[in-house]
Copies of this chain bind each other. A is one copy, B any other.
Amino acid sequence: MPRTVFAADLGGTKLATALLTTKGKFLARKTETVDKSSTMAPVEQICRMAREVSGRTKIHAAGVAVPGLVRRNRTVWAPNLPGWERVPLENLLRKRLQATVQVESDRNAAVLGETWQGAARGKSDVVVLVVGTGIGAGILSGGEVLRGAHELSGCAGWMVVSEANGDEVRRHGSLEAFACGPALVRAAVSSIEAGLGGKLASLPTKELTAEAIARLAREHDPLARQIFQRMGKLLGLAVANLISLFDPEVVIVSGGMIAAADLFFETLTETALARCQPLAAQQVQIKLSRLGNGANLLGAARLALTAGRRGQSSTINRHS
C-alpha cells in the first residue's frame, strides 16, 4: 500500500492541491486560481500541480473534490466551470496520472474530511453545512454518504425557512438568497437604498463586500451587526431543519463565511436548538469546522485511500 496520496479541491475560483500521508498529514500543498481558458484547462492544471506537489514521489492514488455533481456514470457537471456539462474527469485523470482516481462532489468530500480528521472524527451521523458564496450540505447517515436518487441530496441552499420570495429566491434558492456571502452584500445594498445605510452607505460600492460589512459589524455598526444577526437566524432555522430531519450527532458549519462566525454563530446555535425537535436538540452538537479549506482535500484523500476497500469501510459510497 502506498504511503502518500494526492488530493485536489477544484472550486469555482481556486484549485487547491496537496500531497498527504495515509494518516492525513499534509506533506506539500499548493493553491492556484482555476484556469478557465478551456474545458480541459482545469484537468491539465490538476495534472501539472500533481507533479509539482508530489515532486519525485510516485502518485498511486488521487482524490478530487469538484464544485458540482458527480453522476453515477462518473461524469461531472460543474456550473461554474465553462463547458463542464459531462466531463469524464475520473477517466481523464486516471490516464494522465497513471493512478487510481476518485472524484466526489465538494460537499460530500467535506463531510468525509470532517469525519476523518475534523470536528466529526469517528462519528457516523454528521451534517456539514457549507456556507460561502453558495450553500450546500454534506450528509453522513448511519456511516453512509447520503446521495439521493440523482446525486442531488444536500441542496441546502434551496431550503425554505422563511416565506419571503422574489427573484433571488427563484434563482438561487430560498436560504442562499438570504444567508450566504453575496446575500450579505445584497442586504447592505437594500438598506442603503432605503436610506438606512449609516456607515455602510459611506463605503464605495465596489468596496461593499462581506468582509467590509464584517469589519463594520465588529466596530459595532448597528446595521452591519443586524445584517449578520439576520443571517445567523436564517442559518439557525436551516440547521434546526437539518437536525429535525437527520438527527445527527453533530452539525458542522464550514465554508468561507465562518471567518465571520463571531458575528453570527451564537445566534445560529441558539436559534437552531430552540426550533428543532427537542429530544434531538438535547443530544446534538453544533460546531464550527476547524479544518477550513483542508476538509475537502482530506475528504478527497480519504476517498482515494479507501477506494480499494469499498464495501468494507462504512464511510464508502456506493458507486454503480
Binding site for B on A (CB under 8 A): 69, 124-125, 137, 139, 141-142, 144, 146-156, 158-163, 169-170, 173-174, 237, 240-242, 244-249, 274-277, 279-280, 283, 318
Contact = CB atoms under 8 A, between A and B. Distances in A.
Given A141-B146, A142-B318, A153 B276 contact: no
Contact of A162 (B124, B149, B159, B163): B163
A155 B244 contact: yes
A216 B153 CA distance: 40
B159 A245 contact: yes
Work out how many copies of this chain go into the complex.
Answer: 2
B276 A158 contact: yes
A147 B124 CA distance: 11
Given A156-B245, A159-B241, A245-B245, 5 more contacts: A125-B149, A141-B153, A144-B144, A148-B248, A161-B163
Nearest to A169: B275
Given A144-B142, A162-B162, A247 B279 contact: no
B275 A150 contact: no
A209 to B, nearest CB: 27
Contact of A244 (B156, B240, B279, B283): B156
A245 B142 contact: no
Nearest to A123: B149
A146 B125 CA distance: 10
B142 A146 contact: yes
Name the residue among A142, A147, A169, A283 with the largest chain B CB count within 10 angstroms: A142
A242 B153 CA distance: 9
